[in-house]
């Protein structure tokens, strides 16, 4: 019997594609890779710690069709965003439950790089899995990469799982 499972933090986020259902391509890939290549059949040996960081841009201010006329509108917006985040986590937690691997999932707001590194310090996972769009150096100038920052600054081992070319949408900055 193994007493303490290996605690794997997986950073997950929402897709940037409109109409694309919930999880981003790269975070779904990172999650599925972890199950297939690391957890395998040893479901009692691992615990997944699913962290979703909601960035300020996703806070609805890029939702140009909305009109904010009262404080209540903002409250509704926050609730809608919270619901979106919960929906995302539910997708991953449900999958873990189906295959019988333990998990914990939670949401934090802020800059993904800072929040992920902060949460690593707080919950001390054995390692961190981060999905990546796998952009080239030219594309990275414009979009930055959360995964590279984590490799440098997170206080635990980090493994980056890149999307393949076939998994990428038409605009590689989308995910």
Give the residue, chosen from 2, 62, 98, 166, that forms a contact with a second copy under the rule CB under 8 A.
2
Q: Shortest gap between Cβ of 160 and a second copy (angstroms)?
A: 6
Q: Please say whether the beta carbons of 46 and 101 come within 8 A.
A: yes
Alpha helices, H only, 19-70: 25-33
Q: Are 159 and 128 in contact (CB under 8 A)?
A: yes
Q: How many CA atoms lie within 13 A of 154 on its CB side?
A: 30
Of these, 41, 70, 164, 170, which contacts a second copy (CB under 8 A)?
41
**Nearer Cβ to a second copy (54/132):** 132
Count the Cβ atoms, other than its own, within 10 Å of residue 131: 27
Selected from 17, 84, 91, 127, the binder of a second copy by CB under 8 A is 127
Residues 132-151 that bind a second copy (CB under 8 A): 151
Member of 17, 20, 22, 38 binding a second copy (CB under 8 A): 38
Residue nearer to a second copy on the CB measure, 2 or 57: 2
Neighbours of 167 (CB within 10 A): 14
What are the backbone dihedrals phi and psi of residue 111, each rounded to the nearest 5 degrees, phi first? -80, 120
Please identify, using beta-carbon distances, which residue of 51 and 154 lies nearer to a second copy.
Answer: 154
Rule CB under 8 A: say whether 166 interacts with a second copy: no
Write the DSSP symbol of residue 5: P
Binding interface with a second copy (CB under 8 A)? 2, 6, 33, 37-38, 40-42, 45, 126-127, 151, 157-162
């Amino acid at each position: 019997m193994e007493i303490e499972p290996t605690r794997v933090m997986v950073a997950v986020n929402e897709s940037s594609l409109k109409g694309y259902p919930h999880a981003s391509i790269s975070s779904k890939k990172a999650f599925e890779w972890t199950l297939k290549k690391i957890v395998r059949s040893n479901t009692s040996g691992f615990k997944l710690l699913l962290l979703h960081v909601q960035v300020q841009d996703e806070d609805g201010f890029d939702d140009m069709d909305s009109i904010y006329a009262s404080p209540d509108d903002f409250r509704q917006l926050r609730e809608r965003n919270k619901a979106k985040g919960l929906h995302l986590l539910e997708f991953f937690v449900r999958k873990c439950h189906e295959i019988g691997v333990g998990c914990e999932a939670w949401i934090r707001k802020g800059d993904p790089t800072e929040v992920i590194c902060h949460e690593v310090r707080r919950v001390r996972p054995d390692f961190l899995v981060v999905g990546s769009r796998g952009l080239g150096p030219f594309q990275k100038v414009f979009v930055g990469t959360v995964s590279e920052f984590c490799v440098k600054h997170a206080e635990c081992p980090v493994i980056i799982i890149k999307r393949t070319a076939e998994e990428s949408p038409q605009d590689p900055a989308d995910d």
